[in-house]
Amino acid sequence: MKKELFALFVLILLILGTYGLKGQGGNSSTQSPVSKQRADFIEITGFVERPYNITYEELEALPSKSVTAELYCVDSPNLPRKSGTWIGVPLRVLLERAGVKEGAYKIAFYAEDGYTTDLYVEDVMNNKSIIVAYELNGKPIKPRLVVPGRWGYKWIKGLTKIRLVNYNFKGTWESAGYPDEAYIEGPTQRGAS
């Protein structure tokens, strides 16, 4: 009998624990605590006709493109940091959905850690290998720009915002004096398109 009472007590604690936690946070939505901690969408805004947010789920549901490319950091130009097959959505597809406005010149990219980078709108519209990747070698990753043939500082990770602007925006490394075009030259050049 004592054992049964104890088991009942444990069961009640488990039920209270499970349902008690759900009620916290002042919001009765069914979101899990994990998905509340981070923004699981990318904002596409600025010089566009129809600004929108795209969730990671929506991104992964779009027709995907696979790109095999290596990420090189200017700090160690001969050693690939990351390489393999990236899967994602061409950035230009995301921009076309928003409708690029006349006068859009550059794209400013923002990441969750405050890092920024930039690309020319024209370069992106002419290059379907520039993708917003969500998978590397079969494993999920947070959305990251894959820019084949350009230095790693263009490959922004933890992407939160894509903003089209009509001026010469420069990102973290670009504004510190690194080449804005960031083309890898010499023996390490691979995957440029």
Ligand X SMILES: Nc1nc2c(c(=O)[nH]1)N[C@H]1C(S)=C(S)[C@@H](COP(=O)(O)O)O[C@H]1N2
Question: What is the binding site for Mo ion (CB under 5 A)?
Answer: 73, 152
For the CB of residue 71, give the shortest distance to ligand X in the complex, in Å: 6
For the CB of residue 70, give the shortest distance to ligand X in the complex, in Å: 11
Give me the numbers of helices (H) and strands (E) for the chain, helices first please: 5, 9
Residue 6 vs 183, nearer CB to ligand X = 183
Rg (CA), the chain: 22
User: Residue 101 half-sphere exposure, CB side, CA atoms within 13 Å?
Assistant: 15
For the CB of residue 75, give the shortest distance to Mo ion in the complex, in Å: 6
Among Mo ion, ligand X, none, what binds residue 51 when CB lies within 5 to 8 Å by partner kind? Answer: none
- Strands, E assignment, 6-146: 41-46, 52-55, 65-72, 80-90, 106-111, 116-120, 131-136, 139-146
Residue 101 vs 135, nearer CB to ligand X = 135
For the CB of residue 117, give the shortest distance to Mo ion in the complex, in Å: 11
Residues that bind ligand X in the complex, under the rule CB under 6 A: 71, 73, 81-82, 111, 113, 115, 152-153, 155-158
Residue 63 vs 177, nearer CB to ligand X = 177
Q: Which residues make Cβ contacts (< 8 Å) with residue 127, sequence separation at least 6?
A: 92, 193
Among Mo ion, ligand X, none, what binds residue 161 when CB lies within 5 to 8 Å by partner kind? Answer: none
User: Residue 26 half-sphere exposure, CB side, CA atoms within 13 Å?
Assistant: 0
